[in-house]
Amino acid sequence: MKQHKVLASILAAALLAGSAGNLQAGNEDRAGQAGASELLINPWARSSGWAGANTSGIRGLEAMYFNVAGTAFTKRTELMFCRTNWLSGAGININSFGFTQRVGETGAIGLGVMSMDFGDIPITTTDLPEGGIGTFRPNFTNIGLSYAKGFSENIYGGIVLRAISQSTADVAARGVAIDAGIQYVTGKYEQLKFGIALRNVGPRMRFSGDGLSFRGVAPSGTYSMTIEQRSSDFELPTLINIGGSYDFYFSKDSTSMKNNRITVAGNFVSNSFQKDNYRLGVEYAWRSMLMIRAGYDYEAGILDEETRTTAFTGPSAGITLELPFSKRGSTFAIDYSYRATNPFNGVHSFGARINL
């Protein structure tokens, strides 16, 4: 037990050191200087339904996005798939899938994949600005491998190693990032939760490929040559999630108290390259079968169209229907969430999960 507490303390110290040494919270002067911004997109339906406010209590595969410590609560095996219509009307879809698997008494491993589909984009040139010479498909994909563990009855921690790939037909950038997180659970019925996670820490990335080169003619005009241009490096959008939540139950009987639950959650996001976010969410659950949630994601200037710097206007909502299908407690769930935007017609996410 003592060793587990020491390991948890080391991980907490690493998170705090990273936050003090690497982050400049909410620095608007650095906006636009980071790349790989798809790492900031929540591709999952359940957590996005209450604005990502549940960093402290998130569970299963979705925890790989907010706070990987939550994957340690996987009981056996969880499989998930989600499709998101990103900024409806823009023609962009996001497919995400993966699994978490219990290993040992207190550990869990996970694999999560997120891929963005931009559809077919016409190829244009200075001579043919209208296209007509074919299409291309950008490919934005990241793959995460995680391990999480319960260090004690109250403290859980984990780490994610994520591979990042951005490419077109002739230009690509690849990199790696590391996430780490801790959750603390306490109370007679584990109703009080706290969480902190450091995300998207990694070396700079750079684009390279044939698309950055062109054929030129020597000044003498006697021969031609290939000239390669170098792109600038860009940093990853590092951030810290800090959150807490509390579960309210409507029964004093510990055997049936979880029939009706209301959870209130809050989360602060300290961003390195954009405004900070303040997220609040609430979820009602009936017997862990029907869950309804809503949330609000606030950042400076979001209430005024003239000062808003994001397409999102703040509100979000979602619903989950989860039904058992075996005596050992296996369940099948369908998730849906909506995030309000202006312009575009919002973000719609549809997910399915199986807990074996």
Q: DSSP assignment of 331-356, as one string?
A: EEEEEEEEEEESSSS-EEEEEEEEE-
pLDDT of residue 229: 81
Q: Is 220 exposed, middle or buried (0-12, 13-18, 19+ CB in 10 A)?
A: exposed
User: Which 8-state DSSP code applies to residue 34?
Assistant: B
Q: What count of other Cβ atoms lies within 10 Å of the Cβ of residue 218?
A: 9
For residue 11, the SS3 value is helix
3-state secondary structure 157-197: EEEEEEEEEEECCCCEEEEEEEEEEEEEEECCCCCEEEEEE
* Cα 41 to Cα 114: distance, rounded to the nearest angstrom: 10
* Cα 134 to Cα 112: distance, rounded to the nearest angstrom: 33
pLDDT of residue 14: 47
Going by C-alpha positions, the residue among 194, 198, 197 that lies closest to residue 186 is 194
Q: DSSP assignment of 185-230, as one string?
A: EESTTS-EEEEEEEEEE---B--BSGGGEEEEE-TTSS-EEEEE--
User: Which 8-state DSSP code applies to residue 273?
Assistant: S
Query: In this structure, what token pair is assigned to residue 112?
Result: 């999560």
Backbone angles phi, psi at 249, to 5 degrees: -115, 150
Cβ distance 73 to 21 under 8 Å?
no
Backbone angles phi, psi at 3, to 5 degrees: -65, -40
pLDDT of residue 23: 44
pLDDT of residue 214: 75
Per-residue pLDDT for the chain (356 aa), expressed as one digit of tens each? 454 554 455 455 444 444 444 444 556 666 667 889 999 999 999 999 999 999 999 999 999 999 999 999 999 999 999 999 999 999 999 999 999 999 999 999 999 999 999 988 888 888 888 888 888 889 999 999 999 999 999 999 999 999 999 998 889 999 999 999 999 999 988 899 999 999 999 999 999 988 888 777 767 667 677 777 888 899 999 999 999 999 998 865 554 556 889 999 999 999 988 899 999 999 999 988 999 999 999 999 999 999 998 999 999 999 999 999 988 889 999 999 999 999 999 999 999 999 99
User: Which 8-state DSSP code applies to residue 292?
Assistant: E
Complete domains list, the chain, with CATH = 2-207+235-355 (2.40.160.60)
For residue 63, the SS3 value is helix
The residues facing 136 across adjacent strands are 121
* Cα 97 to Cα 113: distance, rounded to the nearest angstrom: 5
Q: Provide long-range contacts, Cβ within 8 A and 24+ apart, for 325-329.
A: 329/75, 329/355
* Cα 43 to Cα 335: distance, rounded to the nearest angstrom: 12
pLDDT of residue 5: 52
The residues facing 195 across adjacent strands are 183, 243
Going by C-alpha positions, the residue among 220, 180, 221, 218 that lies closest to residue 197 is 180
**In 59-191, beta strands by DSSP E:** 77-86, 92-103, 107-117, 121-122, 135-136, 139-150, 155-167, 172-186
Using a cut of 0.95, tell me whether the model's pTM lies above it. Answer: no
